[in-house]
Each structure stands twice: as structure tokens, then as C-alpha cells.
Structure 1
Amino acid sequence: MFRESHPARRAGLRLATRRILMEIAIHAQLDYRFDRPTDVLLQLEAAAIPEQSIEEAHIDLSETDHFARVAAHDMIGERIWVRVGSELRVDYHATVSINRILDDCLALPAIPPHQLPGETAQYLMPSRYCPSDQFQSFVCAEFDSLEGGQKVIAMRDWVHGHFSYVPGASTSDTTAADTFIRRQGICRDYAHVLITLVRAAGIPARIASVYALGVEPQDFHAVAEVFLGGEWHLVDATGMAQEAAIAKIGVGRDAADVAFLTAYGRAVLNSQTVEVAAAS
């Protein structure tokens, strides 16, 4: 059994009168089996970043032949490389303080593309699950009269109003284009469609894997994150999660960058549970 614990860590907070504070308790368990020794990449720990502080955390893993931490996408959070034999069991506990500054996205301007920070440019481009180049005509016809945050919120509301949340309605191959046609999916599908529409409007958008209060059924959750007013802002098209009660795990171009478990070999799920609650 491998166990790693972290003492309380407090990230620096931005000075602003709108700073909020909420503590959430997280418990995630995974149980997988494998046919042969397999390399596995995990990303399921809440990230230690300025907008959230990891007050307490520990992770227990069943026996592994290798364990190594590596930086995750955009240096937000960490991934863990493990090499396992016939099984992998993970038990993760954490308490996270949310220190995020909340802005009303409706009032935020979009940054002209030529003035965007270089690191945001990748989030204007089409990606595996978000073919934004195929949606420019739709976005122009549906949302052309709106600007900045008003356009993003209108897109969020459009997705929320036109799609049905149906567990099992999509697979790991489902793209935003597929979901747009079927009008149903789960959180990652909602996020992919919103990201696709926002990128088609010339506004950077990326996916964030998160733990969040209010998600039903509770699981690893996915939301969009959009670049408005010079900062990133979390937007959940499912309507289940609020920005003040979200703990970020990692970010990426789409779900391929933020999978909680990627196995380089055949993996069979035995069980998986996620619990998120307000910390007492």
C-alpha cells in the first residue's frame, strides 16, 4: 500500500473585496483490474493554485511498481504515473478552501484576439472533441448581436435549454458535433458544446475537470472555462455547479487532456465513487 499525505498549504490570495471562501470535502475511490502490467496516468487530485487552497489531502494506492508525479496541462495540478500489476485501487481524501473571486460574466468584455496572452491562443483552435471551425456559421446566425460575456452566457443558456442530461448517452468517442445533433449527453458533452461555440466566436475556452457541490449523480465533473476580461471564468452549462463551490483538478483543450485515469492497456472498472460535500 502506498500512501502520500500533504500538510495544509495556503496559496496566495488576490486582494479584492469580492473574495469568497468556501470549504468542500472530497472523497474519491477507484478500483480497476488489468490483464497484465500496465502504465496508468492519473489526474484526480484537486490542484494547489491561487484560487483554491489544499487544507488537507492524502492519497492511498494499492501496490505499484512505479510512482511519479509530473506537471499537468498549463501547470495546473499534477498527474501521477503509476505502473501496476493486476489491479489499482485509489482512495483520495481532501479538504479544499475555495478563494475564487467571482465576477459577473455578463459585464466582462472579450479580449480582441490580437491582444490575447500567448498561452490562450491554443484555446481558440479546434481540438479532438471541439471542432469549433464547423460552428462559425451557426454562432454568427444565432449570437452575432451579442458581445463578450453576454454572448458567452447566451451560449450557456442555449445549451442548457436545448440539451437533456442523459447518463450513458455518449461514449469516449462522442464529439461536440455528435452531441449537437443528438441534443443529449453528460457534463463533458455539455462542456464540449459550450467550448466549441465560444471558440467559434473568437473567445478562448477550455475544459476544466472539477469536484463540485450540487452535481447529481455525483461524479468527476466537467465544465467550461472561458477567458473574459483578462481572466479565466468557470461556466457550467448543465446548471448544476456554481463557480463558488467548484474545486479545480486540471484544465485542457478538451476531455482528452483531463481524463482522471488513462490506461495504456486494457482496464476493467470494478467500482468508482465520488463524494463532495460542504466541509463541516
Structure 2
Amino acid sequence: MELDVNVQLEYQLSGPTDLLLQIEVADLADQRLQSSNIEISDTEHLARVAADDGLGERIWIRTDGIFRCDYTARVVVDRPALDISTLDAVAPHLLPGDTVRYLMPSRYCPSDEFQSFVEAEFGAYQGGARIAAMRDWITKAFSYVPGSSNGQTTALDSFVQRQGVCRDYAHVMIALARASTIPARFASVYAPGVTPPDFHAVAEVFLDGTWHLVDATGMATADTIARIGVGPDASGVAFLTTFGPCTLRQQSVSVTA
């Protein structure tokens, strides 16, 4: 699938401010960039750095006044939408070293709080079948409610409230997977058909020796998703992190097939 991505950001800064920007599609074997262009308003400093797990890049920016960014890209996604329920889990002692940290609780995904629940609710399933059962449970049990969560909402909060946005769905999916000893990480992505149009968030789980995308909202499948970056949870892969006060003036995200 070929996707066109178009993003506009505009923020008012109250003084010289450091920004960490991560909005560009990662150029990977299963998602090949055909074209990409980013235009950023005047800056005092701009430098690219590698993102987590070597997937994509971040941009360090220091600027003042109004910060503007326009980004366009065309990407060909060449990834099958597999039946995840058929995939096997990897025994913990056989996991690659770079996946181990994704077994551990993180700021927004206190997975140790979910161990009793996953055994009681999903104990009859193993590996990918358990991931599929947990994904389907979240999709049915939760309501997608914009504005129902904020930057402090954890997977446990969302689990109790049974509502949230894509970020919250992903956090719950990650927490349940980790509580099942399956490595899981947060993926910031673009996907068509997301309502409302915005940066999207899904989980990635490690099964059968590689990572697989899982969208518990049901809005996107693996063959329609372009990854931006990954991290333990939303705190590690925000599209924009500001190290100082800022005010949103305008933001739009468009993804079309």
C-alpha cells in the first residue's frame, strides 16, 4: 500500500526553547520511503540523532518565537497482515537482548499490576493466540473517547475507566502482553482511516522471532501502517517534546492511501 503523509505543526514558544521532534516515517525494509520533505522555521540549532532501537530519527531543535514545521512523505508499505493468533511466543531465556527491556514495567505500562488478571482471563491461550484474545477483548471492552485521558493517564487508569484514545489502547495492550511474558513496545505510526485524523499509536509484540504490529482500536491493520518510531511507552516516542513552555497554535495530520 502506498501512503501520502502531510503534517503541519505550529507552536508559540515563550522564549528560547529546546525541542525534540519525531514525525518522519522511518525508512525500513517493510516500509520504503519514495519521497520525503520537511521544512522547519528558523532555528538557532538543528541536529539529527538516532531514535530508539535504531528505528527512525529524532531532530533536536533550539528556537524561539513561533515554531512551524511542514512535513510530507510518500511511503510504500510492504508488510502482510498476518493472523497473529498462529504465531508462537519466544521462551524468555531465548529472547534477544534488545527485547528484554520490553518485558519490564514502564512509566505508563505498569504490567506487574496485570499478572493476576491475564492469567485469570487469558490463561487458556498461549503466544499469538493470547495476544489476539487480549486485542479483541480491549476492542470490545473499551470505548474510544477523545479527551477522556491526558498525559498522566496510565494503562491501569485506562483499564479501570474502560475508555481512552489510541495511546491508551496501546498502553493497555502493551501492559497485558508484558504481564504474559511477551515483549511489547509502543509504536508511533501513521495510518489511513484513523478517526479523528492524527498521529496514531499501536503496540508491537515480539512473536516468532520478530516484531508484529497490533492495533487494539481496530482502526488499522499491519499492512496499512507506517512506523515513525518505537519506545517503552508514549513517554519515549512523543512526536514533539518541549523543554520549556509552549502553546499550540495549529496542528493537522493527513494520511491517505
Task: Give me the TM-score of the superposition, normalised by structure 1.
Answer: 0.91
Matches within 5 A, 1:20-169: 22-169=1-148
Whether 2:194 is the aligned partner of 1:245: answer no
Matches within 5 A, 1:164-179: 164-179=143-158
Q: Which of 242, 253, 265 pairs up with 2:244?
A: 265
Q: Partners of 2:78 and 2:140 in 1: how far apart? A: 30
Task: Determine if contact 2:118/2:179 at 8 Å carries over to the other structure.
Answer: yes
SS in 1 for 2:168: helix
SS in 2 for 1:207: strand
SS in 1 for 2:79: coil
For 2:12, the aligned partner's letter is: R
* Shift, 1:214, TM fit: 1.3
- Spell out, residue by residue over 1:97-156, the C-alpha distance to the aligned partner (whole angstroms, 9 max, x if none): 112244321110000000011100000000000000010000010001101110000000
For 2:65, the aligned partner's letter is: S
| 1:10 corresponds to | none
Task: Give structure 1 stretches of 5+ with no counterpart.
Answer: 1-21
Q: Partners of 2:130 and 2:221 in 1: how far apart? A: 19
Whether 2:212 is the aligned partner of 1:233: answer yes
| 1:209 corresponds to | 188
* Shift, 1:241, TM fit: 0.7
Matches within 5 A, 1:171-190: 171-190=150-169
Task: Give me the TM-score of the superposition, normalised by structure 2.
Answer: 0.99
* Shift, 1:205, TM fit: 0.3
- Spell out, residue by residue over 1:172-218, the C-alpha distance to the aligned partner (whole angstroms, 9 max, x if none): 00000000111110000000000000000000000100000110111
| 1:218 corresponds to | 197
Q: Partners of 1:231 and 1:263 in 2: how far apart? A: 33
* Shift, 1:32, TM fit: 0.2
For 1:156, the aligned partner's letter is: R
Greater Cα shift, 102-111 or 256-265: 102-111
Task: Give structure 2 stretches of 5+ with no counterpart.
Answer: none
| 2:253 corresponds to | 274
Q: Partners of 1:229 and 1:241 in 2: how far apart? A: 22
Q: Partners of 2:210 and 2:52 in 1: how far apart? A: 17
Q: Partners of 1:223 and 1:160 in 2: how far apart? A: 12
Identity %: 58
| 1:12 corresponds to | none
| 1:14 corresponds to | none
For 2:209, the aligned partner's letter is: G
C-alpha root-mean-square deviation of aligned residues, in Å?
Answer: 0.6
* Shift, 1:242, TM fit: 1.2
Count of aligned pairs between the two proteins: 257
Task: Determine if contact 2:80/2:222 at 8 Å carries over to the other structure.
Answer: no
Q: Partners of 1:62 and 1:154 in 2: how far apart? A: 46
SS in 2 for 1:135: helix
| 2:177 corresponds to | 198
Q: Which runs of 4+ in 1 moved over 3 A?
A: none
| 1:6 corresponds to | none
For 1:120, the aligned partner's letter is: T
